[in-house]
Structure 1
Amino acid sequence: MTDFPEAPIYEHLARVGKALAAPVRLRLLDLLDQGECTVEELARRGGLPLKNTSSHLQQLRAAGLVTSRREGTRMHYALRDDEVSRFLGHFQDFAEQRMGDLREEVERHLGQEGGSGAVTAEELAELVGRGAAVVVDLRSAREFAEGHVPGAISVPSRELEERIAELPWDTTIVAYCQGPYCVVSPRAVRLVNATGRRARSLRGGYVRWKRERGTG
Structure 2
Amino acid sequence: MTPEEYKQQAFEQVVKIGKATSNLTRLKILYALSQGRKSVDELAKTIGISVGTTSKNLQILKKINLVKEDKDKNFVFYSLASAKVAQWISLLIDLSEENLSQMEYLSKNYNQIPSVSIPELKKKLLTSEPYIIDLRPKSEFEQGHLPYAHNIPYLEIDKKVSTLPKSQNIILYCRGRLCGIAEDVGKKLEKQGFKVKTFNNTVQEWQLAQ
TM > 0.5 between the two? Answer: yes
The amino acid across from 2:25 in the alignment is V
| Residue 43, structure 1, aligned to residue 44, structure 2 | yes
Residue 181 of structure 1 and its aligned partner are, at CA, apart by 1.8
Residue 99 of structure 1 and its aligned partner are, at CA, apart by 0.8
Partner of 1:97: 98
Distance in 2 of aligned mates of 1:76 and 1:184 = 25
| Residue 213, structure 1, aligned to residue 188, structure 2 | no
What pairs with 1:12-27 in structure 2 (closer than 5 Å)?
Answer: 12-27=13-28
Residues 18-52 of structure 1: per-residue CA shift (max 9 Å, x gap): 11100111100011011111112211211112222
Residue 180 of structure 1 and its aligned partner are, at CA, apart by 2.9
Relative to structure 1, is the Cα distance of residues 29 and 48 closer, same or farther in structure 2, using a 3 angstrom cutoff?
same
Distance in 1 of aligned mates of 2:208 and 2:14 = 28
Relative to structure 1, is the Cα distance of residues 136 and 12 closer, same or farther in structure 2, using a 3 angstrom cutoff?
same
| Residue 159, structure 1, aligned to residue 153, structure 2 | no
- Say which SS state the counterpart of residue 200 (structure 1) adopts: strand
Residues 88-124 of structure 1: per-residue CA shift (max 9 Å, x gap): 111110121111112223444x4323xxx32122211
Q: Runs of 5+ in structure 2 lacking a partner?
A: none
Write out the 4+ residue segments of structure 1 that deviate beyond 4 Å after TM superposition: none
Distance in 2 of aligned mates of 1:59 and 1:142 = 25
Partner of 1:127: 124
Distance in 1 of aligned mates of 2:157 and 2:121 = 21
Kept in 1: contact 2:133–2:149 (CA 8 A):
yes
Partner of 1:7: 8
Q: Runs of 5+ in structure 1 lacking a partner?
A: none
Correspondent of 2:185 among 185, 188, 197: 188
Residue 214 of structure 1 and its aligned partner are, at CA, apart by 4.5
The amino acid across from 1:129 in the alignment is L
Relative to structure 1, is the Cα distance of residues 159 and 38 closer, same or farther in structure 2, using a 3 angstrom cutoff?
closer
Partner of 1:139: 136
Kept in 2: contact 1:147–1:215 (CA 8 A):
no
Distance in 2 of aligned mates of 1:141 and 1:209 = 14
Kept in 1: contact 2:144–2:203 (CA 8 A):
no
Partner of 1:203: 200
Distance in 2 of aligned mates of 1:160 and 1:76 = 28
Relative to structure 1, is the Cα distance of residues 141 and 75 closer, same or farther in structure 2, using a 3 angstrom cutoff?
closer
Residue 72 of structure 1 and its aligned partner are, at CA, apart by 4.6
Relative to structure 1, is the Cα distance of residues 14 and 32 closer, same or farther in structure 2, using a 3 angstrom cutoff?
same
The amino acid across from 1:59 in the alignment is I
Percent identity, aligned pairs only, is 24
Relative to structure 1, is the Cα distance of residues 37 and 141 closer, same or farther in structure 2, using a 3 angstrom cutoff?
closer
